[in-house]
Amino acid sequence: MKLTISQLDDFNTNGYLILRNFADKAACEAILDVAQAHLKHKIEPIETEVGYHTKSKEYRTKVVNYNSIEDEEVVTVRRLRQVYHRDILFKNWMENRKIRPILEQVLDDKVVITTAHHNSIMTKMPYTSSETAWHQDRRYWSFTDDNLVSVWLALDEEHSQNGVLEFIPKSHTMQFSQEQFGDKDYFKTEHPLNKSLIETKQSTNLSRGDVVLFHCKLLHRANKNSTDTPKISFVYTVKGERTKALKGSRSAQYPEILLD
């Protein structure tokens, strides 16, 4: 399966593209079942809500041991990390053949999974989850260029009440000054230049099996989950083969998988 010229143009212009009803619903349910078991038992490596907001920028860019984070008594899991190696169902989705020609189109290169980034089951838990502020994923990633795209799979319904992604279209091609970003490189909502841009934000409900492709420099955010039900999604990141992780960085710390 390939994108039409107009879909590819949409991705290149806006920095994201939604592929409706792309993944098989039964496969999504099966992934969800495994994810729920891993979440229930808090199987490491995980990232927690507490961990997410208190960890420094260095924690996210330097080589670290994620297996030592759990000494908190009550833990809300924010994401299951390193899912590629957790379960064959996760691996199969990340190596899915139907999406590969599409990824080759958007990267204009051979496709390589970078297991260092995302490679996650991402959650928003009821009551205890928090909002995700505007950010570009690329800020903590160390590569020779920006040819990286994330693949977001909705495993169930996603909407503004449970924290669906919101995007600022075209922001992946914009130049920003450092003063437009605040603590931990989040995009400041109160900065006058940012305010008008944030008004252009776009979001759309997702259903089980919908896939969103988004560029690593696209500004995005998500609400907290105000419903009674966990929101659980799958996200992994691919790069073009010509794009290289910088030696010694966290981006180079994990295996890469070339999809031939």
Ligand X SMILES: O=C(O)CCC(=O)C(=O)O
Q: How many whole angstroms separate alpha carbon 65 and alpha carbon 54? A: 16
Q: Does 35 bind ligand X (CB under 6 A)?
A: no
Decide: is 149 part of the binding site for ligand X (CB under 6 A). no
Alpha-carbon distance of 96 to 73, in angstroms, equals 38
Q: How far is the CB of 231 from ligand X (least distance, A)?
A: 8
Asked if 250 interacts with ligand X (CB under 6 A), we say: no
**Least CB distance to ligand X at residue 52 (A):** 8
Strand partners for 112: 239, 258
Inter-helix orientation angle 100-107/5-14, to 10°: 50
- Interface pick for ligand X out of 122, 218, 238, 245 (rule CB under 6 A): 122
- Based on CB atoms, which residue is closest to ligand X, 129 or 194? 129
Provide, for the chain, the percentages of residues in helix, strand and coil under a 3-state DSSP scheme, each rounded to the nearest 5. 30, 25, 45
Q: Does 240 bind ligand X (CB under 6 A)?
A: no
Residue 51 found at the interface with ligand X (CB under 6 A): no
Quickly list DSSP for 102-155. HHHHHHTS-EEEETTS--EEEEE-TTT--PEEEE-GGGG--BSS--EEEEEEES
Contact 254, 115 (CB under 8 A): yes
Q: Which residues have a Cβ under 8 Å from the Cβ of 77 and sit 6 or more positions away?
A: 39, 42, 46, 47, 48, 49, 123, 125
How far is Cα 88 from Cα 66, in angstroms, rounded to an integer?
22
Q: How far is CA 19 from the centre of its chain?
A: 16
Q: Is 220 among the residues that bind ligand X (CB under 6 A)?
A: yes
Which residue in 38, 86, 124, 172 binds ligand X (CB under 6 A)?
A: 124
224 interacts with ligand X by CB under 6 A: no
Which residue's CB is nearer to ligand X, number 105 or number 129? 129
| Closest residue by beta carbon to ligand X | 132
Minimum distance from CB of 55 to ligand X (Å)?
12
Total of residues contacting ligand X (CB under 6 A): 7
**215 part of the interface to ligand X, by CB under 6 A:** no
Residue nearer to ligand X on the CB measure, 62 or 110: 62
Angstrom distance (rounded) from CA 238 to CA 252 = 14
Binding of ligand X at residue 117 (CB under 6 A)? Answer: no
CB of 2 to ligand X, least distance (A): 27
Task: Tell me: does residue 163 bind ligand X (CB under 6 A).
Answer: yes
> Could you list the residues that contact ligand X (CB under 6 A)?
122, 124, 132, 137, 163, 220, 222
